[in-house]
Amino acid sequence: MARKKKNIIIEGLSVEAVAAEGKSLARKDGQVIFVEGVVPGDVVDVQIRKKRKAYSEGYPIKFHEYSNLRIEPICEHFGVCGGCKWQNLAYASQLEFKQQQVTDHLTRIGKVNLPEIAPIIGSARTERYRNKLEFTFSNKKWLTKEQIATEDKIERNALGFHVPRLFDKIVDIDTCHLMADPANAIKNEIRSFALANDYSFFDIREQHGLLRILMIRYTDAGELMVLIQFFEPDQKKIDQLMNHLKAKFPEITSLLYVINQKKNDTIFDQEIILFSGKDHIIEKMGNLEFKIGAKSFYQTNSAQAKLLYDKVLEFADFQGDELVYDLYTGTGTIANYCASRVDKVIGIEYIEEAIQDAFVNAEVNSINNADFFAGDMKDLLNDDFIAAHGQPDVIITDPPRAGMHENVVNMILKVAPQKVVYVSCNPATQARDIALMDEQYEVTKVQPVDMFPHTHHVENIVLLELKMSTKN
């Protein structure tokens, strides 16, 4: 017999601080409670969704007081859509909490001596700052309680974003404030054309339907990429939609599609089919140009990316004669950006396609002192590699959210470059890795950067310098 779930409500909770994953923190009788949809200063009644020995999780069912940190969200989908969870929080407060997040992780997890942490660099654009978005087609539109209760016929096809914790439900998005026009116009036109012409939207549970994913990318250089993932190979309908887009939006410089019949919607192993224009778009950063294909990684906030990379160069303080290793180089953006300031730079990346892009970007910019290698970092970065390519003076590392593998950390300690510039999208794992390096390296500079306004995410740059006692 199933155990009956207890209906636990905690009344009059005062929200104290922000916590991980966009939630906020409150306390009751010494126990931590993580609450979604609130901000520090709110006083709420909370329905407990998950109860553990050390903590509980819940959501607000009644507000007694609203925090003075609150602002009115600009998006009509706020609270249902999984993005922009801090849109109800003043941007100045967002920056304060992100700064505190970096400080807390480095002190509580890293437990190393720290210099004064520089004030976070905020984003000049807090709306329409993203250069890439992906929207999901679904035949299972998320319905509000009012829509469920109505007897009116409701369109169940949707094009938008996933509802948190519900992999098969999609919020139908009319206007997204994360990307500049014509992104919304393109998205809405595709949906209208599909509905008018009886195109089927994807059913993720049953694995059928024509339309699957829409990806839009643009650059500050004015180029625009649209890629549609189709599940079913109905070439007639594919051509009809692609021709319609080509005629309706002549500003699209790269019009692509994929027929992806896998269980998941990743496209790294899929053939990208060029329908019209070029198979890439070009972004400019400083004096350089970067070729971005459908599979390429590129920082999604172009303006902030330049500030981030300029700060990396400042921390590295190159003198012109250095051998630099750029770990987790991606498409070689940082490597190529610093190439003119060093003797040689070597980039290492797991994804083969990204390394191919890195070589192309070096060639596009007439860079001949950058070399790139593909392979699993923990396996490729070894004694033989160092012997073949030289002892680095500076290592730049920009790992994924999981941080660096322990083998990579150990190799850095063995190689012992004079400086390590550690760029991270997850200060918690960054702090963990820095703690492992504390015996040989001291943290001399810390710079948080906000790449994603209205979210809890924060980038952080740390400069580690070899301690005097460990220098040869």
Residues forming the active site? 425
Instruction: Give the C-alpha separation, 248 to 185, whole Å.
Output: 10
Answer whether 230's CB lies under 8 Å from 256's CB.
no
